[in-house]
Structure 1
């Protein structure tokens, strides 16, 4: 039996386990089970499972790869700078717990965008939901594409399985185990998948330490010598300047967790506010540890590669007719060609191309799949929930029976599965990682209007009644953000990084203020 076949058998067995869990958790399920788990989820299960949803498959393979990034030749750049954003995430979760969770529980929301409808009008409600659906669909499928592509390149191409079939089968797997139970099921499956992801992370760290015959302390010393552990970037013009990374990370959490139906539907499925806050803060603390472990693993992967023949090098290539120097980290084959294993390719290349023993390859695949499924199942369930509750008003429809509503929800679930598949195939047709990252960055633009809308609703009492005005502001703000980013990037030395979402939200807030009514309403703030 080939190693590829063996790895596929483990993936199949893993999926069977998810189906068994789905069978038991989805019995006697209804729409409220699907949308918010009947508000019976255990806070500690939600907290642990959210780690997998937050990290995703891209984090699993990308964060370790950032440690050894290069700027000018053979000098590594990147290190642990990403951790400053994690610190920002940590602060952001406290703000979500203090401001947004009390609001959602007080209003007893199924969809968090219902708040916008009650605070402003139906237009704001629909806009919030549409921005979320677009954001989550693009972001989730971009992440799915990158992980599916890793499986395809390093595992499935050698046994003749086409990309489209890989993507279709993985999406059908997600559809099958979330079709009935929704949130009620994924709270349990995400917990299982997070466990496997962390086991995979720990096993790879232990194996490399043993292989290199070093302790954790020795490893950290070696990483320091390679300049892989530098944490704080003090260049104010850099995208990763530590203060704006922390602030940007904080607002990213507020917008992409606190204002995101996928992330919040699990939190509001907990039985009460106190336990939901416990979930959020426990999750925040755990994420500090897990992200540091991924960065530490990244440093170990580079050390392992360097010991096994990898090196930093420069090669000259023709790009648009001009000779361009490219920085690479990789190994030369027998013909003298350089196999680049920098960044996203590092972890899968070492795990699946014979550098690690087969049991580590198995652990890596299960960890990768465990990172893939939580981001896919949560996204598919959340966009289905948002579309049904916010766009179709399924909970308010008195003309349909519960059975008809459930059938409609299942139809929407299936349609979004097809949409996800189409988007993955579009990414495959583009077949350019840089474009995928660009599209993921563009998806970040759509959270700015959500940030501005919620902030204006919570921190002011102004009304906005003119029809179409909220839509105009939420469309103009991202455009202005793009223009400002373009001008700053091309005409100054400053680089806008993760603070882009703050600028977008601020422009939305200002726009809403300019179109406000002079009359205010009595509305209880969060």
Structure 2
């Protein structure tokens, strides 16, 4: 049995484990089990499982790769610059726990966008849901594409399996174990997946330190000497200027966690507000350490590559219109050709092409698949929940029996699985690795209106009464944000980075302020 077949066998065993969990958690489940787990989820399970959902394949693959990119560069990050955004994430979780969670529990929500309907009108409710569905569908499939492409390049493609079949099989796997239980199942499976992801991270760090005969402190000193630990970018015009990433990270967390049905349906599945806050803050502190470990691993991977005879060079690459410098390593293949490995490919290349021992390759592949599943299973369940609850009003539908509602929900779940497959194939057709970074920027346009809507509802007491006025504002704000971004990029040296979501949210808030009616009683 060759190494590729052996690795696939371990993936199959892992998936069978997920199916077994799904069977036991999905028995006698109903729509409330699927949507919010009957509010019986354990807070510590949710906190641990959310780590896997937040990290995803982008963190697992891309964050270690960013360490070797040019320090102080445009975008993506260089050195440990990404960690300033992580600190921003951390601050954002306190706002989510202190402001948004109490609101959701007080209203006993199944869908968080019900708040917009109660605060404004049905139009706002449905607009919030649509923005979420679009955002999550694009974001989740972009992350899926990244991981599926890695599996295809380094493993399945060499076995003759076409990309479309790889994507289809993985989506069918996710569909199978989320079909019945929904959130009730995902809370458990995400815990398992997070465990394997962190196990892979720790195992790789321990192995590389041992292989290089370095202690933790010695390795950090070497990384510091090579400027791989560079943290603060003081160039105000750069996209990774530290205040931009700090504030941008904070508002990204507020929008992409606190205003995101996928992330919040797990939190509101916890039995009470106190425990849900424990979940959120435990999760926030844990992410500080886990992300730092991924960055440290990134530095170690570059040291490992150089120690093992890699040919080192730097190449320029255009990402989102900006030129960046990437470190490239080359390893001689059997035929004598030099295979170039860019930053994002470094971790999988080390793990799957014979540079790591087989045991570590097995741990890596399970960790990679574990990074893939949480970012897709939760998204598939959440968009199904939002569509059924917010757009079909399934919870309030008195014309259908519980059995009919469940049947409809399953059909919607299947349709979204097909949509996810189509989006992955579109990303493959574009065949541009920078598409992942572009999608992260697109999130600033799609989550910005949600940020502005919720902020206006929470911070003011004004109503919006004119029909379609909220729709006009939430469409116009992203358009204006795009125009401002283009003007700034074209005519100044300043580069708008992750603070794009703040600008979009402010324009949405300003638009709602202009069309406000009168204060509520």
For normalisation by structure 1, the TM-score amounts to 0.95
Equivalent residue for 1:95?
A: 95
Equivalent residue for 2:394?
A: 394
Equivalent residue for 1:456?
A: 456
> Over residues 180-212 of structure 1, what are the superposed CA-to-partner deviations in whole Å (9 max), with x where a residue is unaligned?
000000000000100010111000000000000
The within-5 A match list for 1:160-179 is 160-179=160-179
User: 2:185 aligned with 1:181, yes or no?
Assistant: no
> Over residues 13-62 of structure 1, what are the superposed CA-to-partner deviations in whole Å (9 max), with x where a residue is unaligned?
00000000000101110000000000000000000000000000111000
Rounded to whole Å, the distance in 2 between the matches of 1:138 and 1:500 is: 18
CA apart distance, 1:315: 6.1
CA apart distance, 1:77: 7.4
CA apart distance, 1:330: 1.1
Equivalent residue for 2:234?
A: 234
The within-5 A match list for 1:5-404 is 5-70=5-70, 78-314=78-314, 328-331=327-330, 333=332, 338-404=338-404
Equivalent residue for 2:511?
A: 511
SS at match of 2:313: strand
Rounded to whole Å, the distance in 1 between the matches of 2:513 and 2:140 is: 32
> Over residues 435-456 of structure 1, what are the superposed CA-to-partner deviations in whole Å (9 max), with x where a residue is unaligned?
3421332133100000000000
Equivalent residue for 1:520?
A: 519
CA apart distance, 1:238: 1.0
SS at match of 2:386: helix
Rounded to whole Å, the distance in 1 between the matches of 2:370 and 2:416 is: 21
The within-5 A match list for 1:482-501 is 482-501=482-501
> Over residues 298-319 of structure 1, what are the superposed CA-to-partner deviations in whole Å (9 max), with x where a residue is unaligned?
00000000111224424699x9
Give the direction of change, closer, same or farther, for the CA distance of 1:380–1:369 in structure 2 (3 Å limit): same
SS at match of 1:236: coil
C-alpha root-mean-square deviation of aligned residues, in Å?
1.8
Rounded to whole Å, the distance in 2 between the matches of 1:378 and 1:72 is: 34
The within-5 A match list for 1:428-439 is 428-439=428-439
> Over residues 204-254 of structure 1, what are the superposed CA-to-partner deviations in whole Å (9 max), with x where a residue is unaligned?
000000000110001001101111001111111111111111110000000
Identify the range of structure 1 (233-242 vs 196-205) with the bigger mean alpha-carbon deviation. Answer: 233-242
Equivalent residue for 2:475?
A: 475
CA apart distance, 1:343: 1.8
Rounded to whole Å, the distance in 2 between the matches of 1:336 and 1:492 is: 47
CA apart distance, 1:338: 4.8
SS at match of 2:328: strand
Contact 1:138 1:440 in 2 (8 A): no
SS at match of 2:395: coil
Contact 1:314 1:325 in 2 (8 A): no
Runs in 1 of length 4+ with deviation above 4 angstroms? 314-317, 324-328, 334-338
Contact 2:71 2:227 in 1 (8 A): no
Give the direction of change, closer, same or farther, for the CA distance of 1:214–1:254 in structure 2 (3 Å limit): same
Give the direction of change, closer, same or farther, for the CA distance of 1:411–1:455 in structure 2 (3 Å limit): same
CA apart distance, 1:327: 5.1
Rounded to whole Å, the distance in 2 between the matches of 1:25 and 1:180 is: 9
Contact 1:384 1:412 in 2 (8 A): yes
Give the direction of change, closer, same or farther, for the CA distance of 1:111–1:150 in structure 2 (3 Å limit): same
Give the direction of change, closer, same or farther, for the CA distance of 1:36–1:326 in structure 2 (3 Å limit): closer
SS at match of 2:467: coil
CA apart distance, 1:6: 0.1
Contact 1:388 1:409 in 2 (8 A): yes
Rounded to whole Å, the distance in 2 between the matches of 1:353 and 1:316 is: 25
Give the direction of change, closer, same or farther, for the CA distance of 1:281–1:332 in structure 2 (3 Å limit): closer
User: 2:415 aligned with 1:421, yes or no?
Assistant: no
Give the direction of change, closer, same or farther, for the CA distance of 1:115–1:160 in structure 2 (3 Å limit): same
Give the direction of change, closer, same or farther, for the CA distance of 1:71–1:467 in structure 2 (3 Å limit): same
Contact 2:40 2:270 in 1 (8 A): yes
Contact 1:131 1:447 in 2 (8 A): yes
SS at match of 1:446: helix
Identify the range of structure 1 (91-100 vs 427-436) with the bigger mean alpha-carbon deviation. Answer: 427-436
Contact 1:77 1:228 in 2 (8 A): no
Rounded to whole Å, the distance in 2 between the matches of 1:261 and 1:278 is: 19
Contact 2:462 2:516 in 1 (8 A): yes
For normalisation by structure 2, the TM-score amounts to 0.96
Give the direction of change, closer, same or farther, for the CA distance of 1:478–1:55 in structure 2 (3 Å limit): same
SS at match of 2:286: helix
Give the direction of change, closer, same or farther, for the CA distance of 1:383–1:327 in structure 2 (3 Å limit): closer
CA apart distance, 1:340: 2.7
Rounded to whole Å, the distance in 1 between the matches of 2:19 and 2:336 is: 47
SS at match of 1:140: helix
